[in-house]
Structure 1
């Protein structure tokens, strides 16, 4: 089973830190990879039209952001960037390397990596 997952939060989609699923705002599920890829492309174009910056990976994951979209993090005592993320997953895991799409490995801007340092440094269970 394949999932096209949209998220909103302070982590780019490739981190998969504890609690990453809490940032999910929408899920589309498909039995076939190419149906999921078609959905991913459609969602990618929608998000690209709405946000000024993006960073895509060949693993078919993208983070979109607007530099002004930040929130105050009480835990780490600083503003952290908020990302609209999109990922194509298989059984809730990163897709295998043989399914990566090199043409998707591109960016329009350098990500603002002011993500919550406490979340990033928290050990995974």
Structure 2
């Protein structure tokens, strides 16, 4: 099963820290890699229009952000950058190649 996950967090999606799934905003499941790739490419194009910055790691991870989108962390006592991440999972694991 292929899955494209959108997460919003104060770290890039490739870190997948403990509890990262709590940051998931949406999930889309696909039976085929082709359908998942089509959806991911469209989402990446849409996010590229909304966010000034972008980075990609491996095949599975894309992240988008605007430098002015920050949130205050009471625990850290500082403002943290907010990242919008897309992750391609295959059977629950990051799909790092195609």
TM-score > 0.5, shorter chain as reference: yes
| Equivalence for 1:22 | 22
Question: Which residue does the alignment assign to 1:46?
Answer: 46
Q: How many residues align?
A: 98
Please report how far the alpha carbon of residue 22 of structure 1 lies from its aligned counterpart in structure 2 after TM superposition.
Answer: 0.9
Instruction: Flag structure 1 segments of 5+ consecutive residues without an equivalent.
Output: 101-125
**1:115 aligns to what?**
none
Deviation at 1:70, TM superposition (A): 0.5
Structure 2: stretches of 5+ with no match in the other structure: none
The reply to whether residue 70 of structure 1 matches residue 70 of structure 2 is: yes
TM-score (norm 2): 0.93
1:1-125 alignment runs, 5 A limit? 1-95=1-95, 97=96, 99-100=97-98
Q: Structure 1 residue 92: deviation in Å?
A: 2.1
Larger gyration radius, structure 1 or structure 2: 1
| Structure holding more strand per residue | 2
Partners of 2:91 and 2:80 in 1: CA distance: 30
Q: Distance in 1 between matches of 2:90 and 2:77?
A: 36
Looking at structure 2, the residues matched to 43 and 22 of structure 1 have their Cα atoms a distance apart, in angstroms, of 21
RMSD: 1.2
| Separation (CA, whole Å) in 2 of partners of 1:85 and 1:47 | 10
Normalised by the length of structure 1, the TM-score is: 0.74
CA distance in 2, matches of 1:63, 1:40: 12
